[in-house]
Structure 1
Amino acid sequence: MNKPLLAALSGLAIAGAGVVPAVAAPQAAPKAAAVTVDFAGTVSLSNCSGSVIRFPNSTDTSPALVLTNGHCLETGFPAAGQVITGQSSTRTFGLLNSAGTKVATLRANQVVYSTMTDTDVTIYRTTTTYAAIKSAYNISPLTVSATHPTAGTAIKVVSGYWKTIYSCNIDGFVYRLKEGSWTWKDSVRYTSACNTIGGTSGSPVIDTSTGQVVAVNNTGNEDGETCTVDNPCEVDENGTVTVREGINYAEETYNIPACFTSANVLALSASGCTLPKP
């Protein structure tokens, strides 16, 4: 995993260069320009990164949600097979504006959902609403896409902890990603330019063509070891194991919106919800 806390590397540079659009063929429709991706709506945690997120059908008056990793949960890593819902929390988050400046402190009142099984996510409910955040700070939440991401897509990984933006592409998808006792399904593999580090855990992975969240950053193989903590390995449908030292990964988020109502209430029994259940 991208370790939740790192005590050094304070001199990182922001990698925010845009992607040059491909030249359109004659009579072809022009390629849509990439949207501007900055820090607005991202948050810093005590040991991780995260973002204020909404789903396509969330209402503005719903309690604002914060997305980060399961392994960033303040009570410790969920065990393999464990799913946590409705756990009380008073965790705080530093809300960032577009420049990466902290403009407010948000507070959670509940861990709505947390697991490290199949995926690596924690979703917090805060004590405020999207409308209140917009009114006070002119900051909107990031929308979680309900569509599976596509290989080759240009992405940015936005770390509120380090106030750093990594730019790369989705290299492909991993059938099973194993690390220690945990297994994640259909993980996103980055191209090498996204060399994320400890503290970037929980960063939103943003599709630069839509501005929507398509995954949550969570791990990378640091030492070339096989399937150990901080050294995830890829396992294909035939059980073949591949180790890619220095390559980093994220967990898809497109399957989360189906598990929430428009009022941001968790509904694991809803039709189409495939998140692991307690």
Structure 2
Amino acid sequence: MRKPLVGAFCTVLLLGAGATPAMATGLPTGTAEETASAHHSAHAHVHAIDFAGTVALSNCSGSLVRMPDSKPGDPGLVLSNGHCLETGFPAPGEVIVDQPSTRTFSLLDAGAKSVGTLKADKVAYSTMTDTDITLYELNSTYDQIQSSYGIKPLTLSDQHPVAGKAITVVSGYWKQTYSCKIDGFVHQLKEGDWTWKDSVRYTPECETIGGTSGSPVVDDQSGQVVAVNNTGNEDGQQCTVNNPCEVDENGKVTVHQGTNYAEETYIIPACIGTGNKLDLNAEGCTLPKPAGQ
């Protein structure tokens, strides 16, 4: 996981069991604005995808999202990583639901300008088991957000992403985008004590860094979110924190230094029912459940 960032100069904080894109390390020095500018200059691309609907957290990136069946009057949802949770990394096997939260998010417009602050009512769902996601429920509806700020949510695709498709990773924290393609899918991605299933592997052009954790991965063709950015192998180590390894169906372990990854999000809509409420018992829902459920 790429380590969440703390403070104006992006100090890295590693809380025992987790981090930002795998918990990205190797963070650049200088302010977010300086680093983003330098990174953009080195990797200039023309992107069809803009920043509208993305958010910046205190230490990560995220996005205002809706399900395919969400209604304008439903409470808004913000998607980020499990390892970006404000109370620390969920332990392996831990699933958090309906946890009170007052976390705030800076909402961005198409040009990456902050147009307002969104506030959570609760953590609807968070885990680092099988996937790496946190879903916050807001105290405002999509209608209210659009009326106040002119911003619509991004839509989560309910279809499995496709290898070879062009994608854009949109970081609200850095106000930076990264364009590449889906290189393929990983049976199991292991990092430290965590294991994620059916992860997305990027082609080399997506050189994501710390603070991009939780960024929506947008399919360039559909404009829908197909994954959430979460980690990368920084030092070539095998299965350690900030150095995830790939494990295939036969148990073979491979390491790809410099390769970055995301967790698929198509499984989320089946678990969100009427009124944008979490329903882990809904038909087709495969998200991990809390112990005892």
TM-score (norm 2): 0.88
Distance 2:211 2:137 in 1: 21
How far the C-alpha of 1:17 sits from its partner, in A, is: 2.7
Matched, 1:165 2:193: no
Structure 2 counterpart of 1:149, from 154, 161, 179: 161
What is the letter of the counterpart of residue 11 of structure 1? T
Task: Tell me the equivalent position of 2:45.
Answer: 17
Q: Return closer, same or farther for 1:16/1:121 CA change in 2, 3 Å cut-off.
A: farther
How far the C-alpha of 1:18 sits from its partner, in A, is: 4.2
Distance 1:154 1:73 in 2: 29
Distance 1:56 1:112 in 2: 18
Matched, 1:112 2:132: no
What is the letter of the counterpart of residue 90 of structure 1? T
The answer to whether the 8 Å contact 1:2/1:196 transfers is: no
Task: Tell me the equivalent position of 2:148.
Answer: 136
List structure 1 segments (4+ residues) > 2 angstroms apart after TM superposition: 6-19
Q: What does the per-residue CA deviation read over 1:214-267, in whole Å, with 9 as the maximum and x for residues that have no partner?
A: 000000000000000000000000000000000000000000000001310000
The answer to whether the 8 Å contact 1:16/1:166 transfers is: no
Matched, 1:42 2:71: no
Q: What does the per-residue CA deviation read over 1:116-155, in whole Å, with 9 as the maximum and x for residues that have no partner?
A: 0000000000110100111111110000000000000100
Residue 53 of structure 1 aligns to a residue whose secondary structure is strand
Structure 1 unaligned blocks of 5 or more: 20-35
Give 1:172-251 correspondences, 5 Å limit: 172-251=184-263
Distance 1:142 1:170 in 2: 19
Distance 1:17 1:144 in 2: 24
Matched, 1:262 2:262: no
Distance 1:18 1:164 in 2: 12
Residue 284 of structure 2 aligns to a residue whose secondary structure is coil
The answer to whether the 8 Å contact 1:3/1:197 transfers is: no
Distance 2:134 2:73 in 1: 21
Matched, 1:126 2:138: yes
Residue 263 of structure 1 aligns to a residue whose secondary structure is helix
Aligned residues: percent identity? Answer: 65
Alignment coverage as a number of residue pairs: 262
Residue 143 of structure 2 aligns to a residue whose secondary structure is helix
Q: What does the per-residue CA deviation read over 1:192-213, in whole Å, with 9 as the maximum and x for residues that have no partner?
A: 1101010000000000000000
TM-score (norm 1): 0.92
Q: Return closer, same or farther for 1:131/1:16 CA change in 2, 3 Å cut-off.
A: farther
Distance 1:184 1:72 in 2: 16
Structure 1 counterpart of 2:97, from 85, 105, 108: 85
Residue 254 of structure 1 aligns to a residue whose secondary structure is coil
How far the C-alpha of 1:16 sits from its partner, in A, is: 6.2
How far the C-alpha of 1:109 sits from its partner, in A, is: 0.9
Task: Tell me the equivalent position of 2:63.
Answer: 51
RMSD: 1.1
How far the C-alpha of 1:158 sits from its partner, in A, is: 0.3
